[in-house]
Amino acid sequence: MLTIDDGIFEVKATAGNTHLGGEDFDNRMVAFFVDQFKKKTKHDISNNPRALRRLRTACERAKRTLSSSTQAAIEIDSLYEGIDFYTNITRARFEELN
């Protein structure tokens, strides 16, 4: 709810789910790249905490990059069993995921 008085805007109330946001975006991006890694390598990293942690960190970095660029790189050396994971995500794809 918003009031406007003499050109001054004052927010009186807001609504929405305050728990939705950055972490949800990260989770969707991680799930997308877990699937991409599996398609490329036939390895499922969804139960590997170390690989997931490294992927999440890269996704968080990519998300920040996408706030000011149209594309971001995900580059993780030896993500799982010595396999490197290099890929890109566009802002359009990120928006599709969310």
In a domain, 33, yes or no: yes
In a domain, 4, yes or no: no
The arithmetic mean of pLDDT across residues 30-45, rounded, is: 97
In a domain, 79, yes or no: yes
Instruction: Give how far Cα 25 sits from Cα of 8, 14, 21, 68, 95, Å.
Output: 34, 21, 6, 16, 9
Determine the structural domain holding residue 54 and report its residue range. Answer: 17-97
Per-residue confidence band for 4, with pLDDT thresholds at 50, 70 and 90? confident
User: pLDDT tens for residues 61-73?
Assistant: 999 999 999 999 9
In a domain, 32, yes or no: yes
- Number of independent structural domains in the chain: 1
Q: What pLDDT shows up at residue 11?
A: 75
Q: What pLDDT shows up at residue 8?
A: 81
In a domain, 9, yes or no: no
Helices (H), 42-90: 49-66
CATH number at residue 33: 3.90.640.10
